[in-house]
Amino acid sequence: MVAGDDFYRDMSEKRRSALTAGEGVDLYFDWQRLRREALEPLRAGRPARYRPFDWRSGAGLAGQVVEVIPTPVIVVDGTYSGRPELGDVVDVCVFVETPVAERHRRLIARGHGNDAWRPRWDAAESLYFASIRPASSYDLVVPGT
């Protein structure tokens, strides 16, 4: 499995807090690095090696290297893992339909972000699912509870 959270884009909190919802969709998640460091090697049958975002410090990449061995099925977990720009390296996209309250509970339990950050994330996510990748555009929709 490849965790989308590993590819959270490193930037200052000042810059992150100034982003509009549309800019957040484009910049919160480093899909280019996900593609280059994980998806392309795995598609080619090679192990993927990458350094995840350092959630503990809240900035930069962690010191450890994540290695994912290629298998017939690779799951990429994360809100923006279904980006249209990844369509040529992703065979099946699954939308996990989870109620907002449950999504917030899970987000808080993971320890990512803070109360000031969550509304910005929600605005970007809402824009993404409304205009870029609506649930109806996925190959499969399943309940998330």
CATH 3.40.50.300, domain 2-143, yes or no: yes
Segment of 31-35, 76-80, 102-106 carrying the highest mean pLDDT: 31-35
Whole-model pTM above 0.75? yes
CB 139 within 8 A of CB 87: no
Q: Kindly report, residue by residue over 92-127, the tens digit of the pLDDT.
A: 999 999 998 898 788 788 776 567 778 888 899 999
Delimit the domains of the chain by residue range: 2-143
Phi, psi of 121, rounded to the nearest 5 degrees: -60, -45
Closest C-alpha to 52, from 66, 41, 70: 66
The one-letter amino acid code at 38 reads A
Mean pLDDT (whole number) for 81-101: 93
**DSSP for 72-99, written as a single string:** S---EESGGGG-GGGTTT-S--EEEE--
Q: Please report, in angstroms and rounded to a whole number, the separation of the first and last CA atoms in the chain.
A: 20
